[in-house]
Structures are given as C-alpha cells and as structure tokens.
C-alpha cells in the first residue's frame, strides 16, 4: 500500500506500507527505496514534528479506528486519542493533541493523514484521494507541485554591511535552468543552519533562498546588540541581493518571532527591492512588547537573553530553577553580568 507525502503542496516522497515495514522513496527521480528506521526515521520525525511510523501503525487499517469512524460521532481510542467528525465528511480532527494528526477518510476507512504545524502543512495520502485533502485547494490555485526542482549545492558568502562588518549568508539555488530568480530572504539570530530544511520548499518552487545570521550571531562578524542594527543590515542585505546576477531584484522575506521583526526593520528602510513580507508571530519593538512592556522591563525576556548570551544559540539555557532569586538582583541590567562572574556557582542551571 503506497502513500504520497506532500509538504506545503509539494510532493516530496512516497511511502510504502507492507505489514510492519515502512519504506520511503524520495521524489527526485534518482533515489532508491529506504527502510524508515534509524536516521531515516529520525529525519522524518524532525521534519514532520510527529512520529510517522507510530502514526501509520496506529491509524492506517486499525480496526479500532475504523469502528470509531463508522459510529459517526466523537470517539476515543485505547491509546487515549480523541477524534471528532467535521462538516467535511472526509476529515476527522484529533482533539487535545499538539500537533493534531487529523484523519482523511473515504468509505469509512482512513486513506491518509493531514497535519499542520506552524507554517508547514503535511499531507500523507493514498494516490487517487488527493481531492479529499487540502491539496485540492493547492491544485485550485495552481500551486500543487508534483515535480519539484532539484536544489543545487548551497554555499556561504560573507556579505559586507555599510560599516564593513561581514554577515554569514547562505545561498540556495534551484536547478531550473533560469538565469534570474525572485528571492526569499530569512535573517535569524539562532543560526541559519537550523532553517535549511524549512526553506527548501521555496527552492523547489523556483525561488533562490538566502539565509543570513544577523550581526554578532553564529558565524557573522560584529557585536550582538538585539534589534539595533536590523534596519540598516536588512537594507544592505536586500540591496546586495538585488545586485547579484541571479536576482531579478524582487525580494520577499519570511520568518517568525525575531525573524518577523527583521522584516519590518528592513521594510522601514524604504528599500525598493523588498516586495513582500510574511511576518509570523512577530516580535515587537524593544520598547513596547519585547524587552519592555509599556516602559516596564519584562522578566520573561531574561530567558531569551540567557539563550543568546553567547554567539551560538543555546535554548537549554532558558531552563532554570532559580528565577525568583535572579529577579532579586538590582538593577536588572546586572543579572547577566553577575551570573557570568559567579560562573553560575550560586545560580545553577536546571
């Protein structure tokens, strides 16, 4: 039994489910079948944000699930999952679960899974049932891709800003035979490498993707001063892109949180080459709802400061068990310095 795997309207691979074995073949025209286990399974779990193997075994051709669907009302499984019918006869939604692994149903059987996580939509569907999923809307808009472009080997450029500081910038290009492309830009303080897989879908559609470490972060030069340089650095980066041989001078940006803030900062420069923003769960300015709230410092920002206190991002440093003690330090601006000076002796990380 085969299932095609789509992410954000792009056919990425096909899964073969036979008894207890699941295999996968990438949709690149050259890959062979691989067993979904070990590193392969871990890679798909990371991409999908749920355990694919477990989901398929628990939901596809599971008599308990089939019996629940045929009741036509909300049902619970023995594993504790809750499924509820919708006004769409082909879609049953999972309740009280994040991410929700929703069921695509036809003739009383599960024919696929549909999952939304942040800005990524995943559909795993038996061939012939695509019309019963969100893929029908991608098709209607002319955006369903079943033969994505291959991605050329990416490379790093150190791009100079107006003051000579160089920012680490990764360039991904599609193998589409075109000389010039529209460009998708992402700028981040968390390490551009974390976002390689998330942005592949744009290259597969024919865009050039540019991912950049902001000033003072990861592999970029300069000093890290949150939010301070993003207007000028954003403008300089967009205008550098516009000068490249592979650019058609049309740049769009996408990203969330700090990656959303940098878009508005770049747009405020008035650069004519920035044509579109997709700003998700955007961080506000430093004086209204990020570092300060109506003029008062936000204690919650401290966790973020710890995670970005070194050039590389360390999210584990946001997990502490001594916040009450830390908040007794005055002035608050001394917290990071005092904790650093004491080498965490009196304030151990959890």
In this structure, what token pair is assigned to residue 322? 């001594």
Gap between the Cα atoms of 187 and 233, Å rounded: 10
* CA-to-CA separations, 265 to 5, 204, 298, in angstroms, rounded: 37, 28, 22
pTM of the model: 0.89
What average pLDDT does the chain have?
92
Q: Is the pLDDT of residue 340 over 80?
A: no
- List pLDDT tens digits, range 58-77: 898 899 999 999 999 999 99
Using the 8-state DSSP alphabet, how is residue 215 labeled? T
Q: What does the pLDDT look like over 243-295, one tens digit per residue?
A: 999 999 999 999 999 999 999 999 999 999 999 999 999 977 777 778 877 77
Q: Which of 136, 133, 140, 135 is nearest to 91 (CA)?
A: 133
- Tell whether the model's pLDDT for residue 346 goes beyond 80: no
CA distance 2 to 125: 8
Report how far apart, in Å, the C-alpha atoms of 31 and of each of 16, 18, 26, 119 are.
14, 19, 6, 27
Q: E strand or H helix at 304, and its extent?
A: helix 301-307
In this structure, the number of other CB atoms found within 10 A of the CB of residue 251 comes to 24
Sign of CA dihedral 296, 299, 300, 302: positive
Write out the H or E segment, with its range, that includes residue 113: strand 109-117
The 10s digit of each residue's pLDDT in 297-338 is 777 788 898 899 899 999 998 988 888 888 788 887 787 777
The pLDDT of residue 344 is: 46
The pLDDT, as a whole number, for residue 341 is: 67
The model's pLDDT over 173-209, given as tens digits with 9 standing for 90+, comes to 999 999 999 999 999 999 999 999 999 999 999 999 9
């Amino acid at each position: 039994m085969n299932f095609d795997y789509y992410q954000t309207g792009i056919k990425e691979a096909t899964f073969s489910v036979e008894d207890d074995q699941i295999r996968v073949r990438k949709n690149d025209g050259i890959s062979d079948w691989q067993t979904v286990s070990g590193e392969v399974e871990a890679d798909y779990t990371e991409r999908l944000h749920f355990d694919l193997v477990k989901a398929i075994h628990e939901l596809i051709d599971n008599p308990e699930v089939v019996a629940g669907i045929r009741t036509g009302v909300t049902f619970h499984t023995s594993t504790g999952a809750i499924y509820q019918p919708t006004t769409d006869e082909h879609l049953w939604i999972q309740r009280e679960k994040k991410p929700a692994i929703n069921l695509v149903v036809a003739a009383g059987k599960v024919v696929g899974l549909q999952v939304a996580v942040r800005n990524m939509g995943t559909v795993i569907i038996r061939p012939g049932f695509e019309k019963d999923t969100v893929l029908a809307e991608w098709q209607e808009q002319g955006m369903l891709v079943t033969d994505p472009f291959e991605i050329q080997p990416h490379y790093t450029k150190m791009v100079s800003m107006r003051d000579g500081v160089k920012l680490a910038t990764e360039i991904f290009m599609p193998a589409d035979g075109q000389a010039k492309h529209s460009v998708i830009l992402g700028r981040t303080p968390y390490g551009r490498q974390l976002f390689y897989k998330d942005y592949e879908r744009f290259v597969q559609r024919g865009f050039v993707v540019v991912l950049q470490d902001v000033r003072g972060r990861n592999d970029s030069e300069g000093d890290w001063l949150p939010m301070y340089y993003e207007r000028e650095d954003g403008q300089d980066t967009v205008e550098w892109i516009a000068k490249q041989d592979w650019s058609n001078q049309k740049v769009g940006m996408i990203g969330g949180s700090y990656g959303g803030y940098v878009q508005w900062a770049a747009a405020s420069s008035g650069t004519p080459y920035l044509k579109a923003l997709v700003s998700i769960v955007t961080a506000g300015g430093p004086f209204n709802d990020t570092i300060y709230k109506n003029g008062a410092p936000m204690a919650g920002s401290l966790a973020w400061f710890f995670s970005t206190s070194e050039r590389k991002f360390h999210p584990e440093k946001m997990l502490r068990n001594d916040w009450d003690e830390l908040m007794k330090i005055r002035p608050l601006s001394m917290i990071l310095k005092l904790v650093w000076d004491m080498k965490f002796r009196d304030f151990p990380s959890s």
